[in-house]
Amino acid sequence: MLPQFLTDQYPLEQHLFLIPKYSLRLIGCDPESPKTYTLYIWAAINFINLASCVTAELTFGIYNLSIDPLTALDALCPAATSTMSLFKMISIWMYRDEFSSLMERIRVLLLKQENSEPKNQLRRELFTLTTRLSAIVFFLAICTTTTFTIRPLVSNLFRYLSDLDYAHEMPFKLMLPQVLCRMPMYPITYIYIAWHGFITPFSFVGSDCMFFSYCLYITALLKCVQLDITSTLAELTDTDKNSSRCEQKLKLIIERHNEISVLTERFSKIMAITTLSHFVSSSMIIGTSVVAILFLTGIGIVLYVVYAICVTMELFLFCYGGSAVIESSQEVSEEAYCSHWYKRDKNIQKMVLLLMLRAQRPLVVKVPFFAPSLPAFASILRFTGSLIALVKSFL
């Protein structure tokens, strides 16, 4: 049985940004959480933990790159994700007021829509889809980190059953002082490093699912605009009173469409560098994960299979959300064109023409050099395949 928040009966208003808010709240970075000293201290602790472990991971990976490439790969692959998570954590914290403002405005625009059956059905479908796909990424991320965390425990269990000495291994490969890897400090160090492993998915799931959720909610707003255009022009008659009411409704629709465009641009501005960095790093992470699968054995294969699926799914959400915004914004123009606008009076014709012209330029969540979309996702996978072949030739 599915959890309640994944069902169709879950309240609409509680769906909004459910997974990203929950994920970011766990590390003290939820933009809408009350700003208290406790929140600041918790966020600072998590930031210091993540930053220190990322530094140790990168140091270990770079040091072993020429000595043992596979061991270095086992350190640098999760280190790349942790580094991106650190960057995303900083970005969300820096722009938390802007995120909070955008989230509140999206919430108002979505929930103040009239409660017609088509709109309710549309919102429920998109809200539920957003929550379910975000929950899948969250689940895969937690599974990946959990697998990293229990890998040394499973290894030591086999050692114990084979009457071998216990190895003081860590869940991730880090360059640490030897005193921290021995008893009595070993359990404390293990927990500290394992928690860094969970901060990483909380951070990137919060940021990436925020992007995906925002795109799907913008899509819902644009589809509501399409329904409003159809219903407004369908009820139009030849009476002057009715034409005047139709003009007022069209003005409100045009204003709402313009506001959606502004909200998309604002969101693109604060997410541009983060999204670009994510796409570049994800290509390398997927490639190195597949290479690790080819050369590792035992639980390492399972670990990197889950890891590669998680990163690929995360990348897919970016591209799916970007495509949804582009397609739904283009459909606004098509919906207006198919509404028999040319049979109406001149004022209404002019308003619909302006709306069509404006909508012909699709809304895009802009990223430097490209726009997230499903064709871009296919191109990235092809690039990743080339990267796998290149890395494999060096190992």
Residues with Cβ within 8 Å of 57's Cβ and at least 6 positions away in sequence, in order, are 75, 76, 78, 79, 82, 172, 173, 174, 175
Position 345 confidence tier, pLDDT thresholds 50, 70, 90: confident
Q: Is the pLDDT of residue 49 over 90?
A: yes
**CB-count exposure of residue 180 (10 Å: 0-12, 13-18, 19+):** middle
How high is the pLDDT of residue 26? Answer: 93
**CB-count exposure of residue 33 (10 Å: 0-12, 13-18, 19+):** middle
Full DSSP string of 25-80: HTTT--TTS---HHHHHHHHHHHHHHHHHHHHHHHHHHHHTTT-HHHHHHHHHHHH
Give the residue with greater pLDDT, 362 vs 213: 213
Q: How confident is the prediction for the chain on average, in pLDDT?
A: 83
How high is the pLDDT of residue 51? Answer: 93
Q: Is the pLDDT of residue 395 over 70?
A: no
Q: Is the pLDDT of residue 40 over 90?
A: yes
Helix (H) or strand (E) holding 236: none
How high is the pLDDT of residue 187? Answer: 86
Average pLDDT estimate for 182-189: 85
The two structure tokens encoding residue 195: 């928690």
Distance between CA atoms of residues 155 and 125, nearest Å:
44
How does pLDDT run across 63-106, given as a tens digit for each residue? Answer: 888 888 878 877 888 888 888 899 999 999 999 999 999 999 99
Radius of gyration, alpha carbons of the chain = 25
Q: What three-state secondary structure class fits 10?
A: coil
Give the residue with greater pLDDT, 39 vs 350: 39
Matching residue, tokens 């641009």: 265
Neighbours of 63 (CB within 10 A): 14
Angle CA(268)–CA(272)–CA(389) in degrees, nearest 5?
A: 135
Q: Are 180 and 168 in contact (CB under 8 A)?
A: no
| CA of residue 278 relative to chain centroid, distance | 10
pTM of the model: 0.89
Residues with Cβ within 8 Å of 189's Cβ and at least 6 positions away in sequence, in order, are 170, 176, 180, 181
Average pLDDT estimate for 217-221: 93
Position 237 confidence tier, pLDDT thresholds 50, 70, 90: low
